[in-house]
Amino acid sequence: MTTDQPKHIRIAEEIRRRIRDGELVEGERLPAVRDWAAELGVAVGTLRQAQSWLEIEGWIRTSPRGTFVADSPPTVSSSYDRLLRLRRTGSIMGIGETKVVQSAELVRPPLYVQEIYDLEPGDQLVRREYVTGKGSRRTSLTVTWHPAHFAAAVPDLLSTAPGRADDAMKQVAETLGRSVTYAHDGTEARDASHREASHLGIAVGSPVLAHVHEWSDDEGLMEYGEQVIPPKVAISYEYRI
């Protein structure tokens, strides 16, 4: 998001970010338009325009009693959002967002991941698998892969305890001096496998978004991730052309 964007676009994205981060929670009543516009430093008309877009997109709802955060906001954080949140807060997780780690171990990766990392046969990577959610809703199943030597610098990468490794990339930066400077994402629509459906609590063959990301620096790939997102949950982010 850049400062030369129209004000209503910047304000709309700021509100989306607060909802994604958990600063504004589901069902929370938003301030009166005049009060909030004054707090944000924009004209009332600008805020109303931003809120109109957010209501169309399903982020907020209005009623005779006021304007509220939607009971089920429509998106999960993209890898881009998580990187920005890590820099802002030190964690990839938003307030109120849960993560249940299913496994965290050093393993020999499948051939396609071995090729992504340009490994020799038999080399290992750190593999982490976890389910994220909000309340009773499961919002994604994620598998991430990291260089094996990261585990020595950041032992939390091999922990399944709640909250551990949410700041893993921050720890990597502090211990190894490496920070993500390049990222690449890709998304495809497909059907859920048996394993994915079981973790996400959906029917086998349900439509899902399969999202992949690569986080790198000048020394090479730091994280390769695969995220599966169930029906009625989408990835949303702003960009400028």
Residues 23 and 79 reside in one and the same domain: no
Residues 8-57: tens digit of each pLDDT: 989 998 998 898 888 898 889 999 999 999 999 999 999 999 999 999 88
Residues 65 and 79 reside in one and the same domain: no
144: tokens are 């991430």
Extended strands (E) in the chain: 60-63, 66-69, 75-76, 97-107, 125-134, 137-147, 182-191, 207-217, 220-229, 234-235
Residues 182 and 167 reside in one and the same domain: yes
Residues 122 and 45 reside in one and the same domain: no
Residue 154: CB atoms within 10 Å: 23
Q: Tokens 């964690």 sit at which residue?
A: 91
Residue 203 lies in a domain: yes
Cβ neighbours of residue 165 closer than 8 Å, sequence gap 6 or more: 101, 104, 128, 154, 156, 157, 159
Residue 177 lies in a domain: yes
Residues 139 and 187 reside in one and the same domain: yes
For position 96, what pLDDT does the model report? 84
Residues 64 and 109 reside in one and the same domain: no
Show the domain range for 83: 75-235
Closest Cα to residue 181, out of 83, 78, 82, 77?
A: 83
Residues 64 and 84 reside in one and the same domain: no
Sign (positive/negative) of CA torsion 111, 175, 23, 25? positive
Total domains, the chain:
2
The partner residues of 60 in beta bridges, in order of sequence, read 69
Residues 25 and 135 reside in one and the same domain: no
Query: Are 157 and 172 contacting, i.e. CB atoms less than 8 angstroms apart?
Result: no
Residues 188-217: tens digit of each pLDDT: 999 999 999 999 999 999 999 999 999 999
Residues 79-91: tens digit of each pLDDT: 888 898 898 888 9
Closest Cα to residue 53, out of 20, 12, 4, 7?
A: 12
Q: pTM for the complete prediction?
A: 0.82
Q: What is the CATH number of the domain that holds 148?
A: 3.40.1410.10
Residues 50 and 93 reside in one and the same domain: no
Residues 34 and 115 reside in one and the same domain: no
Residue 240 lies in a domain: no
108: tokens are 């020999």
Query: Are 157 and 103 contacting, i.e. CB atoms less than 8 angstroms apart?
Result: no
How far does CA 125 lie from the centroid of its chain? 22
Residue 1 lies in a domain: no
Closest Cα to residue 110, out of 121, 101, 99?
A: 121
Residues 141 and 192 reside in one and the same domain: yes
Residue 170 lies in a domain: yes
Residues 199 and 174 reside in one and the same domain: yes
